[in-house]
Amino acid sequence: MNGSYSNASESSSSSLNSSSHDTEDDLTIATVLAEEEKQKSDGRLGKRLSHLDSIPHTPRVNGEIPDVNDATQDHKRLSERLATYDLSELQIEGDGNCQFRAIADQLFRNPDYHKHVRKQVIKQLKHHRKLYEAYVPMKYKSYLRKMKKKGEWGDHLTLQAAADRFGAKICLITSFRDTCYIEILPKDRNPTRELWLSFWSEVHYNSLYATADVPTRSPRKKHWLF
């Protein structure tokens, strides 16, 4: 009996260790990819678009989703802006994880690392509660539980937490009528990289590239379109 229990425990422990090693290997690979891509693309878009004026970023939870007519008009406005600056979107799946997928693509050139990005953002929000709590119009623990869930939409607060966690300046080209460009800067250090996203206001995030540099990857599922 004890021998069987011991064998089962060893097997379970071995399985957990194997899973842990796999996760560590994935994150090591992701880190290497991030550094390689950072060296290739550092400041490329920033230099091209340095003339754009940004507005101060206010962390906040999501607002109301626009109706079909407003969303369609917003998307047209965003598309025209991207064309003006010779930018193109890598289309990201519209599965509720789009913000985290777009950030993962910018960091690791792989949207599938979105679970890691979400986990790191939640860790930042949890361990530095005083920085973010005032922006959450609900019980903070309830907000964290909600944001942990796969498919829960990211908001402007998770963008700030991502900027803080990864030491990144997050640059948003938006579909807002009066706000073309938003910069989210880390609160406690100088950014070491830039992440470029398009933001179809309150609807969807995509990963941004200079038109000539868009990767050939394509989403496995249809992205947001009306």
Which position among 26, 57, 70, 95 bears the catalytic label? 95
Q: Note whether 115 and 99 are within 8 A (CB).
A: no
Active site residue 114: no
Which position among 75, 98, 114, 180 bears the catalytic label? 98
Which position among 75, 114, 156, 204 bears the catalytic label? 204
Active site residue 155: no
Active site residue 95: yes
Alpha carbons 51 and 201: distance in angstroms, whole number: 22
Q: Which residues lie closer than 8 Å to 48 by C-beta, 6 or more apart? A: 85, 86, 210
Three-state DSSP class for 153? coil
Q: Among candidates 81, 73, 79, 77, which has minimal Cα distance to 52?
A: 81
Alpha carbons 193 and 203: distance in angstroms, whole number: 25
Catalytic residues: 95, 98, 204
